[in-house]
Structure 1
Amino acid sequence: MSNTTTSGSGSRSTMKTFEFGRTHVVRPKGQHQATIVWLHGLGDKGSSWSQLLETLPLPNIKWICPTAPTRPVAIFGGFPCTAWFDVGDISEDGPDDLEGLDASAAHVANLLSTEPADIKLGVGGFSMGAATALYSATCRVIGQYGNGNLYPVNLNAVVGLSGWLPCARTLRSRMEGSHEAARHAASLPVLVCHGLGDDVVAYKHGEKSAQTLNSAGFRNLTFKAYNGLGHYTVPEETDEVCNWLTARLRLEGSYS
């Protein structure tokens, strides 16, 4: 599946097509009440997360696990691997690959746009997938992608594990003066989790991202820190995700 993005507002001079990999779907075992697109980390693929998500006690959720395009990645010296966008260094000061971010956020929105009208929609991810999920959250509340195109779906929940917030520096200025963006930000539930022992995406980046979102008006944000947790997930964290999603999406069938 490919998405074509236009860089620059209204300019059609530079078109880049990203070829997305295979999408894996985990069907709900119970009544379908919510659909969540879950995004893997750098160099991974959708299938590895679909296997874990299948084991979670969330029978009312349909999980869609796409695979990122394979592209040269600056952090690996230009070596190609699966990546939702290009990244040179993980910090608030690093340049943002807006074109790649927009293409991946649009791919997520496209996957959600065909779901039935009464189904709640969400996006979540791990590491670079979490960064893309949090970027999607900002597109949703502002109502448009970084390139100015309209963001087409309503998100009901966003989860980011071991990630960071791209375009953090420009978020507040993009939201300023828009009452609608402030209203959407205040009501959108966001869960951010990070391990204190993360040696790939430092804990401070997760914490700073949560603070940036909060100060930009994301009032319905939960931040969880895990002692001793590195750049991976543990049952304690997935339990938190299950409880949080069940409560925020008001899923039927108690989580046990």
Structure 2
Amino acid sequence: MSLAGSSLSSGGKAALSFGRTYVVKPKGKHQATIVWLHGLGDNGTGWSSILETLPLPNIKWICPTAPQRPITLFGGFPSTAWFDVSELSENGKDDVEGLDATAAYVASLLATEPADIKLGVGGFSMGAATSLYSAACFVHGKYHNGEPYTTNLSAVVGLSGFLPCTSTLNQRIEGVENAATRAASLPIMLCHGKGDDVVPYNYGDKSAQRLVSVGFRDVTFKSYSSLGHYTVPEEMDEVCKWLTTKLGLHGN
């Protein structure tokens, strides 16, 4: 199943047109809904095909497609991307406007889910980075631009990704009412291959360490010795087991 794309403006910039969204309906009793975000240059259909095969009958998956936008790293050449990337570096400038716009779009996809359904966000590579940014917004209770973040997340998964805005993460948690409690209780799973030649393994490792250092207490980090910048059945099997446990999924 797919839904037509929609538009969302970011700051004073022109509206971004999000692409087609693919929905994988639960095969059993609907207990959780997870928005899953693809990597740079990809779209929602490939991951929806993978997620449909997983033994998770109680999860509804929503797989949107990122807007086409000029990518600074590519000299302005357009690509499907959740935010702009200036350089593949730990010191690269974060596109907070783009991150805010995508996090808000993800929240809008979850906004119409029934009240008794647990909500989550996950993704691969750039999609993983966006998922972790959404986790930070949930803990802070607001986006970077100050607008309130009202989605109640129950799980976050990031494969082969990295944590954006690391330098401001701690100060945005300190002094915010209930932020420490939300950080401590939100389950996060990160997976990364030691053979990743696109997003280096140490980015994932340091991201997990940074999350723990600022108060995220339920962080699981899985490493894979020969895994490159892609997924394998072993990794997805562990994601399935983790989601089943953390979301309390049961029955068919």
Normalising by structure 1, we get a TM-score of: 0.95
Matching of residue 104 in structure 1 with residue 89 in structure 2:
no
Q: Which residue of structure 2 aligns with residue 132 of structure 1? A: 130
2:49 to 51, 62, 65: 51
2:10 to 5, 10, 21: 5
Post-superposition shift, 1:88? 1.4
CA distance in 2 between partners of 1:197 and 1:31 (Å): 38
Matching of residue 162 in structure 1 with residue 164 in structure 2:
no
Q: Which residue of structure 2 aligns with residue 187 of structure 1? A: 185
Give, as a single letter, the amino acid of the residue that structure 1 aligns with 2:93.
Answer: P
Post-superposition shift, 1:54? 0.3
Q: Which residue of structure 1 aligns with residue 169 of structure 2? A: 171
Matching of residue 25 in structure 1 with residue 27 in structure 2:
no
Matching of residue 90 in structure 1 with residue 88 in structure 2:
yes
* Structure 1 residue runs without a partner (length 5+): 7-13
Bigger shift: 69-78 or 43-52?
A: 69-78
Contact 1:157-1:248 at 8 Å conserved across structures: yes
Post-superposition shift, 1:16? 3.4
Q: Which residue of structure 2 aligns with residue 38 of structure 1? A: 36
Post-superposition shift, 1:18? 1.1
Give, as a single letter, the amino acid of the residue that structure 1 aligns with 2:158.
Answer: G
Supply the RMSD in Å over aligned alpha carbons: 1.0
Matching of residue 78 in structure 1 with residue 83 in structure 2:
no
- Deviation track 1:62-105 (CA, whole Å, cap 9, x = no partner) reads 00000000001111111101000000123321100011000000
Runs of 4+ that moved beyond 6 A: none
CA distance in 2 between partners of 1:70 and 1:138 (Å): 25
Post-superposition shift, 1:179? 4.5
* 2:10 counterpart SS class: strand
Contact 1:91-1:205 at 8 Å conserved across structures: no
Q: What count of residue pairs does the alignment treat as equivalent?
A: 247
CA distance in 1 between partners of 2:81 and 2:59 (Å): 25
Normalising by structure 2, we get a TM-score of: 0.96
* 1:237 counterpart SS class: helix
Contact 2:38-2:47 at 8 Å conserved across structures: yes
CA distance in 2 between partners of 1:206 and 1:16 (Å): 32
* 1:96 counterpart SS class: coil
Q: Which residue of structure 2 aligns with residue 11 of structure 1? A: none
* 1:16 counterpart SS class: coil
Pick closer, same or farther for the CA change 1:216–1:224 going to 2, 3 Å.
same
Contact 2:29-2:251 at 8 Å conserved across structures: no
Give, as a single letter, the amino acid of the residue that structure 1 aligns with 2:138.
Answer: R
CA distance in 1 between partners of 2:216 and 2:168 (Å): 15
* 2:89 counterpart SS class: coil
Q: Which residue of structure 2 aligns with residue 120 of structure 1? A: 118
Q: Which residue of structure 1 aligns with residue 3 of structure 2? A: none
CA distance in 2 between partners of 1:178 and 1:226 (Å): 36
CA distance in 1 between partners of 2:10 and 2:77 (Å): 23
Q: Which residue of structure 1 aligns with residue 213 of structure 2? A: 215
* 2:129 counterpart SS class: helix
